[in-house]
Chain A
Amino acid sequence: MFKFKKLKNKILTGYGLFLIIIVIQVLLSFYVNKKAEETHNKLTQEVKPKVNLLDRYRNANRVLLLLVNTKVVDANSTLLTNKIKQISEVDFPYFREELNHIKLEKNTASLHHQSIDSIVQNTLYFEQNAKKISDLLVLTNDYKNQKKIEEAKSILTKSATNSTSIDRGLAFLQRHYNKELEEGFTNLSERLDNSSRILLVSTLIFVLLGVFFSLKITYSITKPLKNLMEGAKGITKGKFTSRVSVLGKDEIAELSAIFNQMSISLNRSFNDIKNKNKELEQFTYIASHDLQEPLRTLISFVDLLDKNYNNQFDEFGQKSLDYIKGASIRMSNLVKGLLEYSRIGSSSEITTINCNQLLQDVKSDLTVAIEESNATLIIEELPELKGYETELRLLFQNLISNAIKYSKPNVPPVVRVFAEERKGWTFAVEDNGIGIEKKHLKRIFIIFQRLHHMTEYDGTGIGLAHCNKIAELHKGAIWAKSVPDVGSTFYFNISRKL
């Protein structure tokens, strides 16, 4: 197949081929029809008129003989006289002239020449004789004139001889032209049959050719487009190493090359971002880990100060020491949280997790909190799935402990955990707690964001950020629906393909 530099060339060539096929087919039809038309015209314009002429000639000859015969015996015959005039003055001269034209035609046989000459000569005599009879018998009285009647009868006898000769000659010619006409129509019929067959076969061939070329050209356009589409889909799914094959030199090929460059560029950027992320996580880890040490020292010395010099501090000194101690513990918790956050997904492996068992373990871990708050934890039938077990456990633990923590005063918390299959698994942790205002529903998943003061509910503001990161680790998302003073439901989904 051709290699095209431009897509428009490909499309134009497709149309061009199609047009040329149509034109060839039309020309072929035209040629076949023309041939059939020529034969038909020859028969209808050359042979058939001759057959008709000879027919009419023979009829006129017979009628004229009958008319002159009647004219001789019937005195009241003006109408007959007019008909005799009609034939001898108009019809016969015309027939004679036409016969002479036939004689002059190239393909008229010499035998026919003789017949035509004889017919024409006898017609002339017959015309003259008919006129003589008409002139002889004009009035009624003419029929009483024996001499005129005898003369008329004598002319009539000659006329009969002329008429017989004419008829014989015409019958001879008629036989020839009838045969020619019959053979011609048989020939035409066969030719038309053949033409129909040729047209049918050629049409089929051209249709097949047309379909073949159309498919070939269409395929040559759609195949690279399809490749391109697959490549783009790969990129969408994060396969930045996707490449498409570059076929030909047209615009699609150019687009494919550009796509590949774009893919390389994206892959490079993605790897850069991944490295930067790793560096950042490492920094967070190192920072939080290293911060623990001076904090632990600070807290130890505060404890020592509190233990050994408790009585030497005045009221202000004691209060300041308590603040230092409290702040150091909070800071330690924050740093721990950060450390945990940075560790999420860093060392675990994907395993098959029985969520029912996982939730039982979580429930066991939270026994004290559940009992203290008099909470009810309802765990519905949960699936078995693939995921990071430690992280998932932390996710459930965070959500359930939040549900218990943010309960309404004097209302025992009721927490329900359930799941449903929807493009992977979607889990939900529903509570009857204090709820969250709609405007805060997105903010709560950002690290260190808190909605309440420490005095109301303690915490670091890092739990839900953990949850968010764990959901993302499972190629899912986390979100919440809530009605203040009614309760909240936290949803997260986990992809099947990890």
Chain B
Amino acid sequence: MKRNRVNCQKLIQKGSVITFFFAFCIFYSCQENEEIINVGYIGPLTTRATDLGIAPAKAIELAVEEYNNKRSKKEPKIKLFVEDDQWEKNNAMPAYKKLRKEHQIKVLFISNTDGTIAISQQAKEDNVIVVNPCNNDSILNKLNNNVFKIAKSTEEAHSVIAHRIIELNLKKVLILHYPNDFMTLGSATCAKILTEHGIENTVVSFEKGKTNYIKEFTEYKKEGYDAFVFFGYKEYGFAMKQARDLGITAKFFGSTVLLQEDYYENSQGAINGTEFVFFTPESGNYVLAQEFLNAYKLKYKETPFSVWPPMQAYDAANLVFNELKSYRKTKDNNIKFDDWLRNRLLNVRYYEGVCGNISIKNNGASSGIYFLLFKYTSKGKYVNIK
């Protein structure tokens, strides 16, 4: 009896010590180290096509901030590092290497198609997932399986111009394009559709930085084109102005980047009346898009001049971050980071983004972002045509 009592006392005392010990262990085990995933962005922050670089960089930064603010402790923290490529493919690799060397980025967002091509192989070797939030086309689809394209389809967007030309019954068309993959592919798509519909068309390319097109347009005037398609950047503002000055009254068409401020300045208003493909909040998920634009305005005290690049970049970033959330929960230590993330992204079938509902196809390209036809009315202003 007495022995039982003593045993009982000892049991209670030891029990309380063990309880303390376990409570301490559980508490200690809950204090996990914070996981940080570094992501990079390479885009044109200076020189050319800055509307495809500055606002998307800010949109991704906003997405990072929102993600980090909302994340739980079990979800990894994301840090963003930005590099400028001046819209030159030759700058892409040094920028990428810098991001890798200095920040060991695991995910890279890059706007430029040529730049994406330039770094894709190295990224694959480095187990880095690459996401192009601007373009989504057949050239990018040929790259390795680490490259994802969460954007509008280049071919689809430019086919809208071709269909508009056919609809307007224009018979002779000159397509001018900037010598990069995106514009070259857009021109080829447009030309192909026009040719299929029996419309005479010519495709010409001009070197970068050209500002004087008088000689060429004097010739084009003589050739009597019904329409000019400007698939290029701000330099084509000069071309538009010089064409109108030469008395050319033919219809003008443009690409997705017509809303660059320099474009308008260079054209000195000659750009007004140009029809182009574009994307607005109304084209996607209006409610989410407005929320994003309000948050953007609140953070940066400005509204992006051209809304689709930051909208697409915001969606691309959030779609990726949505998968990174489950990094701790779903990533096996034996699986490489890129294999894990690639698999997660390829299984995205329905992501409700600001541009609409997005799914990722097996080739890493997205579906769900579709551009419409607009007409430029005055500086920064446009109306939907179809």
Contacts and interface: CB of A to CB of B under 8 A. Distances in A.
Contact of A139 (B163, B349, B373): B163
Contacts of A141: 166-167
A322 to B, nearest CB: 90
Contact of B356 (A2, A20, A90): A90
A138 interface: yes
Given A78-B372, A82-B370, A141-B167, A2 B5 contact: yes
Nearest to A1: B5
Contacts of A94: 349-350, 357, 359
A363 B350 CA distance: 121
A13 B7 CA distance: 12
A2 B6 CA distance: 8
Interface of B: 2, 5, 8-9, 12-13, 15-16, 19-20, 23, 160, 163, 166-167, 283, 349-350, 356-359, 367-368, 370, 372-373, 384, 386
Interface residues of A, number: 31
B174 to A, nearest CB: 21
Contacts of A93: 349, 359
Contacts of B368: 86, 89-90
A393 interface: no
3 nearest CB pairs, A to B: A16-B16, A82-B370, A94-B350
A382 interface: no
A12 B167 contact: no
15 contacts: A3-B2, A12-B16, A17-B12, A78-B372, A78-B373, A78-B386, A79-B386, A89-B367, A90-B350, A90-B367, A90-B368, A94-B357, A98-B349, A139-B163, A141-B166
B367 to A, nearest CB: 5
A2 B350 CA distance: 66
Contacts of A19: 16, 19-20
A81 B16 CA distance: 70
Given A2-B5, A3-B5, A94-B359, A138 B19 contact: no
B15 A2 contact: no
A173 B367 CA distance: 28
Q: Name the residue in B8, B367, B370, B384 with the highest tally of chain A Cβ atoms < 10 Å from its Cβ.
A: B370
B9 A9 contact: yes
Contact of B16 (A9, A15, A138, A140): A15
Contact of B384 (A79, A89, A97, A139): A79
Interface string A124-139: 0000000000000011
Q: Name the residue in B8, B163, B350, B356 with the highest tally of chain A Cβ atoms < 10 Å from its Cβ.
A: B350
A336 interface: no
A17 B8 CA distance: 11
Q: Is the interface of A mostly helix, strand, loop or mixed?
A: helix
Nearest to A79: B372
Contacts of B372: 78-79, 82
B367 A12 contact: no
Contact of A12 (B13, B23, B166, B370): B13
A85 B372 CA distance: 13
Contacts of A140: 167
B359 A90 contact: yes
B91 to A, nearest CB: 34
Contacts of A138: 163
Interface in A68-124: 76-79, 81-82, 85-86, 89-91, 93-94, 97-98
Nearest to B159: A138
Nearest to B386: A78
Given A86-B368, A140-B167, A13 B13 contact: yes
A19 to B, nearest CB: 5
A288 B386 CA distance: 144
Contact of B8 (A2, A85, A98, A139): A2
Given A12-B16, A19-B19, A90-B358, 4 more contacts: A3-B5, A93-B349, A94-B359, A141-B167
A4 interface: yes
Contacts of B283: 79, 82
Given A20-B12, A23-B19, A91 B350 contact: yes
Interface in A1-31: 2-4, 9, 12-13, 15-17, 19-20, 23
Contacts of A82: 283, 370, 372
B135 to A, nearest CB: 18
Contacts of A23: 19, 23
A263 to B, nearest CB: 30
Contacts of B23: 23
Q: Name the residue in A2, A78, A79 with the highest tally of chain B Cβ atoms < 10 Å from its Cβ.
A: A78
Nearest to A96: B349
A254 B386 CA distance: 101
Contacts of A12: 13, 16
A2 B9 contact: yes
A93 B13 CA distance: 63
Given A2-B5, A79-B384, A141-B167, A13 B350 contact: no
Nearest to B2: A3
A374 B372 CA distance: 138
Contacts of B19: 19-20, 23
A90 B370 CA distance: 12
B356 A16 contact: no
Contact of B166 (A2, A97, A139): A139
A422 to B, nearest CB: 54
B172 to A, nearest CB: 18
Contacts of B350: 90-91, 94
B54 to A, nearest CB: 27
Nearest to A8: B13
Given A82-B283, A90-B359, A141-B167, A9 B13 contact: yes
Given A79-B372, A91-B350, A20 B359 contact: no
Contacts of B9: 2, 4, 9, 13
A81 B386 CA distance: 10
A237 to B, nearest CB: 39
A81 B373 CA distance: 12
A12 B372 CA distance: 78
A58 B350 CA distance: 16
Nearest to A95: B350
Nearest to A9: B9
A16 B10 CA distance: 10
A128 to B, nearest CB: 16
Q: Name the residue in B12, B23, B384 with the highest tally of chain A Cβ atoms < 10 Å from its Cβ.
A: B12
B382 to A, nearest CB: 15
Contacts of A90: 350, 356-359, 367-368
A23 to B, nearest CB: 5
B370 A86 contact: yes
A204 B35 CA distance: 43
Nearest to B359: A90
